[in-house]
Chains A and B, each alone.
Chain A
Amino acid sequence: GIQVEQSPPDLILQEGANSTLRCNFSDSVNNLQWFHQNPWGQLINLFYIPSGTKQNGRLSATTVATERYSLLYISSSQTTDSGVYFCAVDDGGATNKLIFGTGTLLAVQP
């Protein structure tokens, strides 16, 4: 099956700093999503980005499908950005089930 790897596993930032999170996947995919999981467990949709680049406020994402990776950029980080960031890919089957990476735990300190 498809393997999804994320790096770094942990990241500590000072408020205002920028960061880049990476997601590598082992096979071609139809769908890639980035999520932020808050401390209460809620998975919040950040981007649906099977290819190309998208921006939403301080966040942006780029997926290079031919090279099987995606990047999530966080600029001017805030303490509310803390939590776990997951990349998930669609396995390409009839149900479009998501295969999640191991996540990046981000802590933004004031």
Chain B
Amino acid sequence: DAGVTQSPTHLIKTRGQQVTLRCSPKSGHDTVSWYQQALGQGPQFIFQYYEEEERQRGNFPDRFSGHQFPNYSSELNVNALLLGDSALYLCASRGLVNEQYFGPGTRLTVT
């Protein structure tokens, strides 16, 4: 049973560029959430996708957008990258009793 997977593992981008991160949930899970973890801090909720729709958004600007596909996988897109977007981006899928399982993360560096 595969866990949550994310790609790529590392990414380096330049300010102003756009980036797309990908996530596949655990088998049987249909809900995907994205979190941003800055260095030295706990993860912060970005948004959640269920039935291909965004259900809730945390305190993040519209530069952050997402998508969920019919197979429940998800993408996180960030436009007009800023230096402050450098972080570990984590994807989580939700289990039967609402417990969350996290992927290995994508480490984004913006230069």
Question: Which A residues form the contact surface with B (CB < 8 A)?
Answer: 30-31, 33, 35, 40-43, 45, 48, 86, 88, 90, 93-103
Contacts and interface: CB of A to CB of B under 8 A. Distances in A.
B105 A42 contact: yes
Interface string B68-111: 00000000000000000000101010100111111011010000
18 contacts: A31-B98, A31-B99, A33-B99, A41-B90, A43-B43, A45-B101, A48-B99, A88-B100, A94-B55, A95-B33, A96-B94, A96-B100, A97-B33, A98-B33, A98-B35, A100-B44, A101-B42, A102-B42
Nearest to B35: A98
- A48, A97, A98 pick with most chain B CB within 10 angstroms: A97
Contacts, number: 63
Nearest to B98: A96
A95 B55 contact: yes
Interface residues of B, number: 27
Contacts of A86: 42-43
Nearest to B41: A102
- Secondary structure class of chain B's binding surface, majority of residues: strand
B45 interface: yes
A95 B104 contact: no
B56 A93 contact: yes
Contacts of A93: 56
A43 B90 contact: yes
